[in-house]
């Protein structure tokens, strides 16, 4: 049996976390031994839908006509739609109704974290909602002294000069204003923001903030994953100050590359990233500056070993196996042949590994 990974509209989301999640699904299923396809086949068991664009409804309708399952990925919430693009705050309530309608078309809804699962269930969704990480390719994103040196050469960093990076759309929700304020407080440090958003979609306040950015800030724009990996390996701090996430694939990538990470203290990280264990968290400009300075001057403990372990616990191989388990639990794929011991293990999994349909 195959899983159809619907890629309609992928060009519109290819530079976002949703586009990365689609690619992760293809790879994690391959590593788990589950065949995938990008079109309908006679042995297609289900379709994965990752966007709430109108064309996705056609994929859902085609699945219904064929009598196949629909697995809807809940990447978006009303909360992370706010403070994003021009007019997003005004449209957020309508967006909530739209995504509730779309996700309600799925037989199963998957979302990256317990936090986002609880949000979606609070919207009144009646379908089973499971939390399952988007995963990270730990065979690709990994520490590398060679890539660190390449990054420093690329940006002409002198001995002792430090660099802080962030990654994402150039929008308020991703913490761009706070990142620029951090740069103003540390003029001796190089700050680089990787990512791009069409300026036509940005409010004037963000365009002005970028135009007035301090001289120590660089906007490299959207880059390929090899260049991004080099940045994770080469910079001294990853400061991801996003105000709202459903998980944050870039956080997993940074942890996997061993870069010390500073995050805004928001609920999405509760239960899987602990401040002072894998990352440092703060809630305001003073806290962000204190955490980044503490990492740069070595007065805060080195958390990289625990961070690497956390990233590896969400590797594509691990998440792929969990996705298989959910498929079987929801009848997307047939149950694997089981011995008596395997049946007992599955019973234990059902009781302990899917709290609240997690």
CATH topology of domain 145-312: Rossmann fold (3.40.50)
Rounded CA separation 139/311 (Å): 11
DSSP-derived pairing of the beta strands 108-111 and 217-221: unpaired
* The three-state (H, E, C) secondary structure of 128-163, written as one string: CEEECCCCECCCCCCCCHHHHHHHHHHCCCCCCCCE
Q: What is the pTM of this model?
A: 0.90
What is the secondary structure of 181-199 as a DSSP string? HHHHH-TTSEEEEE----G
Rounded CA separation 329/322 (Å): 11
The predicted-structure confidence for 8-62, as pLDDT tens digits, reads as follows 876 777 678 888 899 999 999 999 999 999 899 999 999 999 999 999 999 999 9
Q: What is the DSSP letter of 355?
A: G
The yes-or-no answer to whether 2-135+315-357 and 145-312 have a common fold is: yes
228 and 287 in contact (C-beta within 8 Å)? no
Query: Structural domain boundaries of the chain?
Result: 2-135+315-357, 145-312
Give the dihedral sign, CA 251/292/223/18: positive
The predicted-structure confidence for 94-141, as pLDDT tens digits, reads as follows 999 999 999 999 999 999 999 999 999 999 999 999 999 999 999 999
pLDDT (0 to 100) of residue 26: 94
The predicted-structure confidence for 275-328, as pLDDT tens digits, reads as follows 999 999 999 999 999 999 999 999 999 999 999 999 999 999 999 999 999 999
Rounded CA separation 14/180 (Å): 26
The predicted-structure confidence for 197-241, as pLDDT tens digits, reads as follows 999 999 999 999 999 999 999 999 999 999 999 999 999 999 999
pLDDT (0 to 100) of residue 8: 82
CATH topology of domain 2-135+315-357: Rossmann fold (3.40.50)
């Amino acid at each position: 049996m195959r899983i159809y990974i619907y890629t309609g509209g992928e060009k519109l989301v290819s530079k976002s976390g949703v586009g990365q999640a689609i690619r992760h699904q293809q790879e994690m299923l391959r590593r788990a031994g589950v065949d995938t396809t990008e079109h309908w086949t006679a042995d297609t068991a289900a379709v994965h839908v990752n966007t709430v664009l109108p064309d996705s409804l056609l994929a859902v309708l085609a699945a219904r006509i064929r009598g196949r399952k629909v697995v809807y990925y809940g990447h978006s919430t009303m909360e992370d739609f706010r403070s994003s693009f021009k007019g997003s705050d005004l449209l957020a309530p309508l967006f909530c109704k739209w995504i509730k309608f779309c996700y309600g078309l799925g037989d199963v809804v998957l979302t990256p974290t317990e936090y986002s699962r609880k949000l979606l269930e609070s919207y009144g969704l009646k379908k089973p909602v499971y939390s399952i990480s988007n995963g990270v390719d730990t065979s690709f994103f990994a520490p590398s002294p060679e890539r660190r040196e390449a990054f420093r050469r690329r940006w002409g960093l002198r001995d002792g000069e430090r660099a802080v990076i962030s990654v994402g759309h150039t929008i308020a929700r991703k913490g761009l204003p706070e990142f620029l304020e951090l740069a103003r407080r540390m003029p001796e440090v190089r700050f680089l923001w990787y990512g791009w958003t069409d300026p036509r979609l940005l409010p004037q306040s963000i365009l002005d903030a970028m135009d007035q950015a301090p001289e120590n800030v660089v906007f490299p724009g959207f880059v390929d994953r090899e260049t991004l990996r080099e940045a994770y390996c080469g910079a001294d701090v990853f400061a991801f100050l996003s105000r709202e996430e459903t998980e944050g694939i870039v956080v997993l990538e940074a942890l996997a590359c061993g870069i010390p990470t500073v995050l805004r203290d928001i609920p999405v990280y509760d239960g899987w990233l602990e401040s002072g264990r894998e990352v440092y968290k703060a809630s305001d400009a003073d806290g962000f500056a204190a955490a980044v300075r503490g990492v740069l001057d070595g007065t805060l403990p080195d958390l990289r070993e625990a961070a690497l372990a956390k990233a590896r616990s969400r590797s594509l191989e691990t998440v792929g196996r969990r996705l298989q388990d959910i498929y079987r639990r929801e009848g997307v794929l047939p149950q694997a042949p089981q011995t008596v011991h395997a049946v007992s293990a599955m019973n234990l999994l059902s009781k302990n590994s899917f709290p609240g349909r997690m």
